[in-house]
Amino acid sequence: MADKPSIPKGTRDFPPLVMARRMHIFDTIRGIFKVHGFQAIETPAMENLSSLMGKYGDEGDKLLFKVLNSGDFKAKLSPEELSQTPAGKLGTMISGKGLRYDLTVPFARFVVQHRNEISFPFKRYQIQPVWRADRPQRGRYREFYQCDVDVIGSNSLLNEFELIQIIDEVFEALGLKVVIKLNNRKVLAGIAEVIGAPERMTDITVAIDKLEKIGQEGVRNELEQKGLSADSIAKLEPLLLMQGSTQEKLDKLEGMLEASETGKQGISEVRRLLEYVDTDPVGAELEIDLTLARGLNYYTGSILEVKSAEVAIGSICGGGRYDDLTGIFGLEGVSGVGVSFGADRIYDVLLQLDRFPKRAAMDTTLLFVNFGDAEVKYILPILGQLRKSGISSELYPEQAKMKKQMSYANMREIPFVALVGEQEMKDGFITLKDMESGEQERLSPEELVERLSSAK
RNA sequence: GUGGAUGUAGCUCAGUAGGUUAGAGUGCUGGAUUGUGGUUCCAGAGGUCGCCGGUUCGAACCCGGUCUUCCACCCCA
């Protein structure tokens, strides 16, 4: 006997209602990407493992799904290698491919590989699933969709501004309140420099990233543990506890980062970006957050992250500028900046807040009840007319009991039902029933189209 | 990867001094109602009690393992 059918850990099936809601998210995001002039691309689910390894830090390497080589994958290994190599390392020896971990690195590969066909700056969007061998939890899946927008081949901070606008427009359209957190890796690098530990930037940022969660004391302990000197920690603390308006924070920071060229540059970039925002302010809350670090180690400039202001679920969108990413694939001096929307988490937030549109808005508008073959033949051309007019409509395929057909409409939450029987055929009209109010009216086919077009 | 919970009908859950054919609500199917759904009433279908093994005369219940889901770390969308 076969096992009960199941799917791998951390993956999901999407039934129709869920899918309708997911499409609502994707359609909204895609529409806004297009309006901003971004073009769609896709890349394969699998990349060569060498394209993926080392791009996401040690932690990321562990979370990569590797695809076992076809054929006799152990033929090239000696028995010693086979038995002595630790499992984790063995995986990379017998796997030449891996599932993509995000869309940014494959995009960088794409840009380098197709550089002669692309005119820069290149604005692309990409909506595809990615895979991570993480331990699943709420809001964390092994297969999930990212919706990436990137501009590559332009250093201008106008791109960062456009991304902020896109974020604002997307969440506005979805009806979600969000906080956009902004920081700059150069500022973080400056801080590391000023406190006398320039090479420890990653450790420092990872630690201060947790400030909200583990508190000042916790951060201090973690930094001590990482081997940072007491002197450095003491210098760092006032920076973290800065209060005041964005401008005040920036002024204070600028003073502290006087000695660091990189730091000063970071500050001026943040200022510049905020100037753009001032010209056309966004609806979302925008805040400078020095504790925002972001783990992906390819970011070099602006970094940003979006959190729901209403539901605690981790970030629902994030990104930043990466100056060297294509360098890894052999194309130097091309800077890119982009953000990624986490569709699955956005879904969870919308669901929890009950902000999805009514099902009727995403589904069939009209159902014709089937009274028999003569009626069906009468209805078919009308049905075609409705569909040409963009009204989602269907005909019940069986001459089932009326109760059953009505229940079907009810279950599907179809807002209108059309009744065409002998009487209607003879008189040339259609009885339209509004399922919500229960009211019925008699309409000609033309009036029906008219009526439902306006009801949409 | 570390630590901790969880798992009984499609769904939400009852069900222990281990004892014959495992329950409720909801949903599903049919009927009451042969051109009218959502309410009500009646009937019916649906479970190898996550899976494997052990203890026992006997296991949904005790023990071990395993998988799933969830929670806290880690990390992140």
State the CATH number of the domain containing residue A449. Answer: 3.40.50.800
**Are A306 and A348 within one domain?**
yes
Residue A1 has pLDDT above 80, yes or no: no
| A71 within a domain of the structure (yes/no) | no
Whether A28 sits with its Cβ under 7 A from any strand B atom: the answer reads no
**pLDDT band of A225, cuts 50, 70, 90:** confident
pLDDT over 90 at A425, yes or no: yes
Integer Cα distance of A448 and A451 in angstroms: 5
Burial label for A217, CB within 10 Å (0-12, 13-18, 19+), is exposed
pLDDT at position A59 over 90: no
Shared-domain flag, residues A230 and A374: no
Q: Does A216 reside within a domain?
A: yes
3-class DSSP state of A243: coil
Whether CB of A132 is under 7 Å from strand B: the answer is yes
What local confidence, expressed as pLDDT, does residue A41 receive?
97
Does a structural domain hold residue A287?
yes
Among A261, A271, A240, A155, residue whose Cα is nearest residue A198 = A261
Q: From CA A87, how far away is CA A83, in angstroms rounded? A: 9
The C-alpha atoms of residue A98 and residue A68 are separated, in whole angstroms, by: 9
Domain boundary among A303, A325, A353: A353
A8 C-beta less than 7 Å away from strand B? yes
Is strand B in 7 Å reach of the CB of A206?
A: yes
- The answer to whether residues A426 and A371 belong to one domain is yes
A421 touches strand B (CB under 7 A): yes
Q: Å from A395 (CA) to B37 (C1')?
A: 16
pLDDT band, very low/low/confident/very high, at A148 (cuts 50, 70, 90)? very high
Q: What is the pLDDT of residue A3?
A: 57
A316 plus A413 within the same structural domain? no
Residues A323 and A404 in one domain: no
Query: Does the CB of A198 sit below 7 A from strand B?
Result: no
A50 and A25 inside one domain: yes
| Distance separating alpha carbons of residues A384 and A186, to the nearest angstrom | 60
Q: Which residue has the least CA–C1' distance to nucleotide B27?
A: A411
Q: Which of A317, A333, A353 is the last residue of a domain?
A: A353
Dihedral over Cα of A310, A314, A43, A66: its sign: negative
Residue A15, CB-side half-sphere exposure with 13 Å CA sphere: 1
Whether any strand B atom is under 7 angstroms from the Cβ of A189: the reply reads no
A214 and A278 in a single domain? The answer is yes
Say what the pLDDT of residue A18 is.
86
For residue A92, the model assigns a pLDDT of 76
A379 occurs within a structural domain: yes
- What proportion of chain A, given as a percentage, has pLDDT over 90? 53
A226 pLDDT more than 80 = no
Rounded CA-CA distance A433/A440 in Å is 4
Q: Whole-number Å distance, CA A318 to C1' B40?
A: 53
pLDDT at A87 over 70: no
For strand B, the positions having any atom within 7 A of a protein Cβ are 1-3, 28-31, 33-38, 48, 50, 67-77
Q: Is the CB of A296 under 7 A from strand B?
A: yes
The distance (Å) linking the CA of A64 with the C1' of B64 is: 33
Q: Which of A310, A331, A353 is the last residue of a domain?
A: A353
- Residue A422 structure tokens: 């002998």
Residue A445 lies in domain: 364-455
Among A328, A330, A308, which residue's Cα sits nearest to residue A317?
A308
Q: Which residue has the tokens 């159902």?
A: A367
Question: For A239-248, what is each residue's pLDDT tens digit?
Answer: 777 778 888 8
Residue A348 sits in the same domain as residue A429 = no
* Residues in Cβ contact with A213 at an 8 Å cutoff, skipping those fewer than 6 apart: none
pLDDT, tens digit, 9 for 90 and up, residues A398-419? 888 898 899 989 888 899 999 9
Confidence of residue A295 (pLDDT cuts 50, 70, 90): low
**In terms of domains, do A219 and A252 share one?**
yes
Is position A76 within any domain? no
Instruction: Specify if A90 maps to a domain.
Output: no
Model confidence pLDDT, tens digit, residues A370-395: 999 999 999 999 999 999 999 999 99
Residue A82 inside a domain? The answer is: no
Residues A118 and A183 in one domain: yes
Residues A236 and A169 in one domain: yes
Q: What is the mean pLDDT of chain A?
A: 88
Residue A2 has pLDDT above 50, yes or no: no
A441 and A407 part of one domain: yes
Half-sphere exposure of A355 (CA within 13 A, CB side): 17
Confidence of residue A94 (pLDDT cuts 50, 70, 90): confident
Q: Residue A106 in 3-state DSSP?
A: helix
pLDDT at A400: 86
Q: Give the CATH number, domain containing residue A267.
A: 3.30.930.10
Residues 301-340 of A with CB under 7 A from strand B: 305, 314-318, 340
| A367 CA – B37 C1', rounded, Å | 12
DSSP-H helix ranges across A36-177:
49-52, 57-63, 79-84, 87-93, 104-113, 157-174
State the Cα–Cα distance between residues A132 and A295, nearest whole angstrom. Answer: 15
Domain count, chain A: 2
Protein residue at shortest CA distance from C1' of B71: A137
